[in-house]
Amino acid sequence: MDYLRSAGDAAATHNCWAYRIGGSYRSSDDGEPAGTAGRPILAAIDGHGLDAVVAVVTRWYGGIKLGAGGLVRAYGGCAAECLRNAPKITVEVRQRARLHCSFDDLGSVHALLAQHQAEKHSEQFDVDGATLEIDAPASLMAPLADGLREASRGRIELETLD
């Protein structure tokens, strides 16, 4: 909400906005007729399939009434065009996990970690082998666990931490 207060122009007639962060969303018409600004901005965000996004559309009233349909088209169209041209950042959800393996399996473990885009955070050795703490893309964690079990004939189990 602090960002929204700072993003608008205090001299403008309306600073309408919407955001979506996961399942949480909210919008504001900021004095425009109900449903003519905030909801079309949110529809533009959803139409682009975006998440973790906030959009603010600022309007200075110039004396010409646009009507409800004109406002919906103006706010929704402006937001959609800006979102279309905005740079996008893909955020990948990662999962932390721990595993223990024998020295004989260590080479296979490192190869599978690389294949599944896993990053090693720690590796501690004991008389039986090594304990590794890793993280990997959440979408690749199940295939990584399957690969580790297969490569070790069931000796390696992946324990998720988060």
Please say if the pLDDT value at position 8 is more than 80. yes
pLDDT in tens, 81-107: 999 999 999 888 999 999 999 999 999
Residue 63 is predicted with a pLDDT of 85
Please say if the pLDDT value at position 119 is more than 90. yes
Give the pLDDT band (50/70/90) at residue 29. Answer: very high
CATH 3.30.230.30 given to domain 2-85: yes
Q: Domain extents for the chain?
A: 2-85, 94-160
Please say if the pLDDT value at position 162 is more than 80. no
pLDDT in tens, 134-149: 999 999 999 999 999 9
In whole angstroms, what is the distance from residue 152 CA to residue 149 CA? 5
Tally the C-alpha atoms within 13 A of residue 58's C-alpha that lie toward its C-beta. Answer: 9
Q: Is the pTM of this model over 0.75?
A: no
Which class does domain 94-160 fall in? alpha beta
